[in-house]
Amino acid sequence: MSSSTFHYLLGLLEPLLDCRDPPRSPLPLSPHSRLAAGLLRLASGAPYDHISRLLGVPADAARFCARRLCRVLCTNFRFWLAFPASDADLDSVSVGFLPSLPNCCGAIVCARFEVGGGCAIAAQVVADASSRILGVATGFRGDRDDSEVLRSSSLYKRRVSAPRYLVGGGSYPLLPWLMVPFVDPRAGSSEEDFNAVHRSMCEPALRTVASLRNWGVLSRPIEEDAKMAAAFVGACSILHNVLLMREDYSALSEVGIMEDRLLNDRESGCLLEAFSEEALAIRRELTVKAKEIRGS
């Protein structure tokens, strides 16, 4: 994170970081130190006692600052993760995916983040073509499959309307508003062309997940409870968008093997789901366009 981005956040968050200190024990810390302690925990994943030694603050104060930062971001700045509501905003997202398939309003992927004790939480992420996060839903048990997480999220209830759609990997069901790849397409076929174009359109979401894992606190098992782990995911997602908005690309990362697997995973429950004729027809139409794109 650049110095200018840090001071931008400081100016934005200062009034909120130094309120609601622990009862009877206000923290003798400046807003600058509070933000530094919270960001250091997120960026490095360092234990609180290490942050304590590095910044010269009590370990309990470092923990409080990290939790307070997450609470402020996830409560007061959730709008930075709001899925586009208007047609104009959705069309703007679609333009970003061109010259690939038209009317795509985002790429969806579901990642797992380890929590201490051998557990994990699932985080559903929707990203635009620039890897900006359009929506995140987290806190689900990591053993729930991607389609279950989708159905439990507000995105499933709200969904997008035709002709708009999202693109997602093979662990998702084919829906009129969610296009997934063909299973085992024949070499040289139109279906293979569709899968290739579809894969390139999913790349921004994979890069987003790789970038989230680049935050130290999410790069290893999170030694906190599941609720706090979900708050870390939410806070890092908001900060990810802030960095992109500030044209600060220090946290962006390339897609790795772990993220690449997110598209290739298949879950039998999804493959056995009865596809609607509408969804099949939309994908057939897009398959024709994909062949034209690959042939040009």
* In the chain, domain spans: 3-76, 79-295
Two structure tokens written together for 232: 């870390």
Q: Who's near 152: CB < 8 A, 6+ residues apart?
A: 137, 140, 144
Residue 246 pLDDT more than 60?
Answer: yes
Question: What's the rounded Cα separation, in Å, for the pair 89 and 83?
Answer: 9
Question: Which is it for strands 104-115 and 119-127: parallel, antiparallel or unpaired?
Answer: antiparallel
| pLDDT band (50, 70, 90) for residue 257 | low
Neighbours of 30 (CB within 10 A): 13
220 near 168, Cβ under 8 Å?
no
pTM for the full predicted model: 0.91
Please answer whether residues 90 and 84 qualify as being in contact, where contact means their C-beta atoms are separated by less than 8 angstroms. yes
Q: What is the mean pLDDT of residues 287-296?
A: 88
Determine contact, residues 106/197, Cβ cutoff 8 Å.
no
Whole-number Å distance between alpha carbons of 193 and 258? 24
Confidence band, pLDDT 50/70/90 cuts, at residue 270: very low
Please give the DSSP secondary-structure letter assigned to residue 276.
P
Cβ-based neighbour number of residue 54 at 10 Å: 14
Please report the pLDDT score of residue 200 as a whole number: 95
pLDDT in tens, 90-122: 999 999 999 999 999 999 999 999 998 789 999
pLDDT in tens, 141-190: 999 999 999 999 999 998 888 899 999 999 999 999 999 999 999 999 99
Dist. CA 37–CA 18, nearest whole Å: 13
Residue-averaged pLDDT of the chain = 90
pLDDT at 273: 47
- The torsion angles phi and psi of 138, rounded to 5 degrees, stand at -140, 175
DSSP 263: H
CA nearest to 88, candidates 164, 31, 198: 164
